[in-house]
Amino acid sequence: MRNACVNSLLALAASCAPEPVPAAPSEVGVRAEDTRPDLADLEALGYVHVDEGPAGSLADPRAPGDSGEAAPRAGGPSLYTDDRSRVLLIDETGTRRHTWTIPGFDQVEHAILQANGDVVVVSVDQGFARVGRSGEVVWSVACQAHHDVAPAADGGFWGLVWRERTWNGRRVRFDLVVHLAADGTLVERLDTFELRPRLAELHPPLPLDLAPQQVEDSTKVYDYYHLNAVSEIPRDVGPLRRGDLLLCARNASLVFAVDPRTRTLRWQLEGHELDFPHAPGLTDSDTLLVFDNGWHRGYSRLLEFDLTTTAVVWRYEGRPRTTFFTKTRGYAQRLADGHTLVTESERGRAFELDPAGNTLWTFENPELRDGRRRRIYRLQRVPATALEDLAGDRGPR
């Protein structure tokens, strides 16, 4: 095992100053004043465990109350974390089939499964690690990591890290996008503080851009952009080029792409009032799927955009709207069969939709805290071969 100390990251950053139903596109509009953040929204307090909804069944093929014919579905195993130290693989029935325990980490937020059965994980404010199927640590990097880790085309990984700076008299975190080599070595970074003058042209001013009018609590720490997702564009599509990074800045309700080689801002999603969104992802149809949380609006929705025109080509909302809502987190994955796997994080459930908005499968977190379901950060579908590859290797339980 190789441990890379946090000093590696600080040395790398030292070159710069401190951090349901589809609907017509015309129905998407939301007033800008309904989604404008105030200073309290930008406090970096971490995520409180908001566990709603009583415990229910593990997995059901169809949620009660749905109408319409159920579309054929491919199904398959899914991966998620328990938001502590474990990564869990479940089958179609919700039965746990494999568990990875991550040594030394106590808030593993997200994990990605590798072809050989390893998982690469990010743990909040602790770092990144690669762990084998039996729990052995292949490598680990200590740093102020958060939210996401994603594969890079070169066999390495992209991740998100914060660094605190003084900004307008306040303690403010700015994010670094870091690149990890396949062996965990930190080899590159993109600093949102350096990009801020250009990014500021893409969004209205934030409350943090104004100096305080009176003395504020010096213990308060704020997030400026609060990046919550990073992914590498795998091919040229519309205005995006292979190798660009797709990023989501929650606090600015901004989805944008940047060329990490030239630090050029390539593209932004314009013309729609997003409200603290998460998890933008490129689909196989070359569209963009976004989980729009609705922090201020009070209900969540999924929006799918044409990348070139930014027109909305598909949309999902609850019926009534407030039945689908997670103020923080949230994830949507477009599957190969055209269905969409959705994680309603704070309610501890996930469900699969067909293109018509019918719910075909649901999963409710069986783990409880004080009689309530625990949240799920992201539940994602993985190849069916994952079950076969890990069969007979039960790993730590």
Which strand (E) or helix (H) includes residue 159?
A: strand 157-167
> What is the gyration radius of the CA atoms in the chain, in angstroms?
20
Residue 297 token pair: 């609006």
The phi and psi torsions of 120 (rounded to 5 degrees) equal: -110, 125
358 close to 350: Cβ distance less than 8 angstroms: no
217: pLDDT strictly greater than 60: yes
Mean pLDDT, residues 46-62 taken together: 46
pLDDT (tens digit per residue) in 257-267:
999 999 999 99
pLDDT of residue 32: 54
Mean pLDDT, residues 271-282 taken together: 93
Residue 285 token pair: 């149809």
Local confidence band at 61 (pLDDT 50, 70, 90 cut-offs): very low
pLDDT of residue 46: 57
pLDDT of residue 336: 95
Mean pLDDT, residues 9-26 taken together: 38
**DSSP letters spanning 181-203:** -TTS-EEEEEEHHHHHHHHGGGS
pLDDT of residue 258: 97
pLDDT (tens digit per residue) in 335-381:
999 999 999 999 999 999 999 999 999 999 999 988 899 999 999 99
Which strand (E) or helix (H) includes residue 13?
A: helix 6-13
Q: Which of 2-6, 180-184, 350-354, 376-380 has the lowest mean pLDDT?
A: 2-6
Residue 25 token pair: 């596109």
90 close to 128: Cβ distance less than 8 angstroms: no
pLDDT of residue 389: 80
pLDDT of residue 36: 79
Local confidence band at 4 (pLDDT 50, 70, 90 cut-offs): very low
Q: Which of 61-70, 193-202, 269-278, 329-338 has the lowest mean pLDDT?
A: 61-70
pLDDT of residue 270: 86
| Fold category of 2-205+216-390 in CATH | Neuraminidase (2.120.10)
35: pLDDT strictly greater than 60: yes
pLDDT of residue 22: 41
Q: Which of 106-120, 187-201, 206-220 has the lowest mean pLDDT?
A: 206-220
Residue 71's nearest CA partner among 353, 392, 368 is 353
300: pLDDT strictly greater than 70: yes
Taking the model in full, what pTM does it have?
A: 0.87
The whole-angstrom separation of Cα 346 and Cα 53 is 9
Mean confidence (pLDDT) of the chain: 87
14: pLDDT strictly greater than 70: no
| Residue found by looking up tokens 């009689």 in the block | 371
Write the DSSP symbol of residue 240.
B
